[in-house]
A and B are shown apart, each in its own frame.
Chain A
Amino acid sequence: MRCAGIDIGSRTIEIVITEKSKIVDCRQTETGYDPLMQTKKLLKGLSYDRIMATGYGRNLVEIEFDSPTVTEIKAYAIGAKELFPAVTTVLDIGGQDCKVIALFDNGKIKKFEMNDRCAAGTGKFLEVMANTLGFDINEFGDHALSAKKDIQINSMCTVFAESEVISLISKGQSRNDIALGLHKSVARRTISMLKRVTTNGMIVFAGGVAKNPCMRDLLAKLLEQVIYVPENPQTVGAYGASLLAQEKM
């Protein structure tokens, strides 16, 4: 049976089609201002027997496509568990939120934490900062990795951090060094959330921010353990949703 999982996030929409647990198709697009239209476009020409929606826009799809829904927390847990059977903790940093999910051995959710309403520590924060520094978000991590010096950034709030960055630029600090400082501040915040849940065992890092090499590096260094990143970190939620569609009648 072909099952579609669709993850409507704040920045991107992903669709994964599976047969049994094997991915047979996978697509991605920007969410934009009309997620429903984007979803329709993305689904065009795809054939599937069942569909399951997740992500913050899941309820849009629920009505339009008569699709059952699942929270991104459960979807990420299921997707990560399939990809890394030994996983105990899933870290997902996406466009507007950051989540840590602890799993029991059988894959059930033990506990989770999620940031509250502000953008601190999320993909959005990094994006705004990359913009302020004039970097492409896709290369932001590489620039940070080539920093020569450690600069401490104190504000976690997007608004205050932006003015802090501007004042550092005007003091003549290098953009790469500032970039590293920003990555470190996000990493520290992420680690404190991880510690509130658990850091024992295997950590799988998913979501758009997992593509950032500097974030992966910092987390591994600061936690002194290997951080596992799926090949396609942004599609873990959609993959999880499609697996769930396989199970559910």
Chain B
Amino acid sequence: MSQDYHQMWSDLGLDLDAHDALLDVLSKAYGDIYLSQNHRPETMQYFDFVMSEVHGLRIKELLDEKEQGRKIIGSYCVFVPEEIVLAANATLIGLCSGADFATEEVEQFLPRNTCALIKSSFGFKLGKVCPYLESADLVVGENTCDGKKKAYETLNDLVKNLYVMDLPQVKSNQGRKLLKSEYYRFKTEVENLTGKTITTDALKKGIQIVNNKRKAIHRLSNLRRSNPSPISGLDALLTNQVFFYDNPERFTDSVNKICDELEQRIKQKIGVFPESTPRILLSGCPMAVPNWKLPWIIESSGAVIVGEESCVGERGVRNLTNDSVNTVDELMEAIIDRYFKIDCALFTPNPDRLNHIKEMVEAYTVDGVIHYGLQFCQPYIMESIPVEKVLEKNSIPILRVETDYSMEDVGQLKTRIEAFIEQLK
């Protein structure tokens, strides 16, 4: 890190010792997993920098913006519309985390068989190690899976400014109505928080900024269709993860720079792995920073990940919001339409996700699918079985993996994944 931020962290109320320990682990993991990769695109250096400053410079920027009166809103799900937040001149930050922390304290609040994603949000709060959470003026939870729904009831006592958004579970007219009324309620909440009324121009601008981020990721994804793949799955995942933290415009520029470099690489047939490397699609639960375990095992076992069917990936960014209409209400409708298409496993039934997986297999010339279910995540683990059936029927090899954030199963996972990759060769 370029500067000593301890004063800033202590002002935010972080536990400095615990936080130092966390940063040590994070930077070690980043070094082992990311910096040790071969043939990385040079433009990834920007993301190395972002990661090295993820609790430093970026927090300082946010706090400086706060000083100017800008509000910060934190969220745990891709259903929270960033367009609305930006239109009210506020900043949206993803709060999900991919590391276990303060596990013993967490288990005083949550049963052991809660998924690691939920446990880790509690751990970061209880352990006082997340500067994003502590900087947020509003924290948005959502009624998605049962685990999260009930967890927010408890989190409410720990986080003063928690706001819970209700979400539909069925893609029906009533479902859409619910989403609509919840998005309007959220709009009012954000307007009250910021004291700004959202105008057509501001909302349009917000949509364009978010669409540009998404388009940059689309461009990156398209380049990953090439063989040899010009970028590793780990690096592409990192880009998708940073999507939730970085300043949107700067993020868009940086991703486009990577794409410029990748286009050159493709012309010269430069890849991160040889052309014969089996190509994997990862599908399932979202992977938040620093949850790199599975992609790291896959890519160090002789395969390359060419796509993520995940909320930190294509499920989260694939649809754009229509910005060609001209009133706030019409733009709100466009936002609702866009988000109502998200095919999260909490919806019942959820055929779109299955179709999307099949589409991705074709689009990225995938050799095999690895389905990632976070242990105790009912929605995705349940869906993994029909996903497996459909893919097998289409003769597409699939491996279902259930794991969490701990490292104790790495040996076994490695055996299973290596065997799966041997099977693809």
Is the C-beta of A116 less than 8 angstroms from some C-beta in chain B? yes
A71 to B397, CA, bound (A): 17
Docked-complex contact B415 and A72, CB < 8 angstroms: yes
Query: What residues on B are CB-neighbors of A97 within 8 Å?
Result: 412
Interface size of A by CB at 8 A reads: 14
Against A, the Cβ 8 Å flags (1 = close, 0 = not) of B411-425 are 110011011101100
Q: Is the CB of A71 within 8 A of B409?
A: no
Please tell me if the beta carbons of B419 and A74 are within 8 angstroms of each other in the complex: yes
List residues 64-113 of chain A with CB under 8 A from any CB of chain B.
70-74, 97, 108-109, 111-112
Question: Are B412 and A73 in touch, CB under 8 angstroms?
Answer: no
A-side contacts of B419, CB under 8 Å: 71-74, 109, 112
Contact residues, B390-425 vs A (CB, 8 A):
392, 397, 402, 408-409, 411-412, 415-416, 418-420, 422-423
Q: Report A-chain residues with C-beta under 8 Å of the C-beta of B415.
A: 56, 71-73, 114
- Could you show 10 A-B contacts with beta carbons less than 8 Å apart? A56-B415, A71-B419, A73-B415, A74-B419, A74-B423, A108-B423, A112-B423, A114-B412, A116-B412, A117-B408
- Closest A residue, CB atoms, query B403: A116
Contact call A116/B423, Cβ cutoff below 8 A: no
Interface mask (B101-133 → A, CB under 8 Å = 1, otherwise 0): 000000000000000000000000000000000
Bound state CA distance, A61 and B203, in angstroms? 61
**A74 & B422 in contact (Cβ 8 Å cutoff):** yes
Task: Find chain A residues with CB under 8 A from B397 CB.
Answer: 111
CB-CB contacts of A120-156 with B at 8 A, as 1s and 0s?
A: 0000000000000000000000000000000000000
Interface residue ranges, A against B (CB under 8 Å): 56, 70-74, 97, 108-109, 111-112, 114, 116-117
Complex: A138 Cα to B419 Cα, angstroms: 31
Residue of B nearest to A97 (CB): B412
4 A-B pairs with the lowest CB-CB distances in the bound complex, closest first: A73-B419, A71-B419, A109-B423, A71-B418
Output the least CB separation between A15 and chain B (Å).
Answer: 20
Residues of A contacting B409 in the complex (Cβ-Cβ under 8 angstroms): 116-117
B residues near A116, Cβ cutoff 8 Å: 402, 409, 412
Please, which residues of chain B bring their CB within 8 A of the CB of A74?
419, 422-423
Contact B422 A71 (CB under 8 A): yes
Chain A residue nearest to B392 in the complex (CB) = A111
Q: Which residues of B contact A72 (CB under 8 A)?
A: 415, 419
Q: How far is the CB of A158 from chain B (nearest CB, A)?
A: 16
Q: Which residues of the partner chain B approach A111 to less than 8 Å between Cβ atoms? A: 392, 397
Chain B residues with CB under 8 Å of A71's CB are 415, 418-419, 422
**What is the minimal beta-carbon distance from B419 to any residue of chain A, in angstroms?**
4
Please give the distance in Å from B114's CB to the nearest CB on chain A. Answer: 18
